[in-house]
Chains A and B, each alone.
Chain A
C-alpha cells in the first residue's frame, strides 16, 4: 500500500509567490520522521526540512516550512517567496522506527517557477 501520497503531479507558481505542496502519509508507527527533498534536473536529492512525529512545533528552514497536522497525517511543505531556482521535483518521504536508512518516498510534485 502507498504510504506517502503526493496528489499534485505538477504545478506552476509565479516568482515571489508562496506555494504549498501536499503530502499525506500512512503509518501505524507512533515514532516516525517526515522529510522533504528537492531534486533539480541534475539528479541530486537535496534535503530541505525534517519533522519528527513527536515534535510539537512545525519545522522551519529558511524559506521552507512544514505544516504538520498529525491527526490528519498530513505534512505539507510551504515555500515562501519562490525563486526561479526553486524549479525542481519535490519529494515527501517518511522513515519509520528501525527502518535503517530506508526512506519511503512519494511520487513527487514537479514545480515550475515562472518570472
Chain B
C-alpha cells in the first residue's frame, strides 16, 4: 500500500512568487491535513480537508490556501512568498480525521524562499 506522497521534495522560490505543493493521500483516506515545520515555531497546523471541504484551519494568513479534489488529493498554495515561509511542509492523511485516528505523514516538501 503506497504511503502519503508529496511533490516536489524540494523547492526554491524568491520573495513575492507563489508556490503550489501537492499531496496524494493513502488510498481510501479522505482527510488530508497540512502542517508547517520550522526550527523556530515547530510544527504548526495549517488546515484540514475532508471530501473537498475545509473543516479546520490554523492561524495562518490568507496567503496560505488549499483545496482538495474528488480523488482526495490535495494541494496547498502560498502566494506572495515571504522569507519566513521557508519551512518543511508536511501533509498527513487519515480515513476520516476523527480523534483517535493516527495520521500518516508524507516526507514533506522543503521550501526555501530567497
Chain A interface residues toward B at CB < 8 A: 31-33, 35, 37, 42-47, 50, 52, 91, 93, 95-108
B107 touches A44 (CB 8 A): yes
Q: Which of B42, B88, B103, B107 contacts A101 (CB 8 A)?
A: B103
Q: Looking at the assembled complex, report how far the CB atom of B21 sits from the nearest CB atom of chain A, in whole angstroms.
A: 14
Give chain B interface residues in 43-80, CB to chain A under 8 Å: 43, 45, 48-50, 55-56, 58
Residues of chain B within 8 A (CB-CB) of A32 are 99
Q: Which of B33, B88, B92, B94 contacts A43 (CB 8 A)?
A: B88
A44 touches B48 (CB 8 A): no
Closest residue on chain A to residue B103 by CB atoms: A103
Closest residue on chain B to residue A107 by CB atoms: B42
In the assembled complex, the Cα of A104 lies from the Cα of B103 at a distance in Å of 12
B58 touches A91 (CB 8 A): no
Q: Which of A31, A44, A50, A108 contacts B42 (CB 8 A)?
A: A108
In the assembled complex, the Cα of A106 lies from the Cα of B48 at a distance in Å of 19
Residues of chain A within 8 A (CB-CB) of B108 are 43-44
B33 touches A102 (CB 8 A): yes
Residues of chain B within 8 A (CB-CB) of A105 are 42-43
In the assembled complex, the Cα of A104 lies from the Cα of B64 at a distance in Å of 19
Given A32-B99, A47-B103, A102-B33, 15 additional A-B pairs, CB 8 A: A43-B107, A43-B108, A44-B106, A45-B103, A47-B105, A50-B100, A97-B99, A99-B99, A101-B32, A101-B48, A102-B56, A103-B35, A103-B43, A106-B42, A108-B42
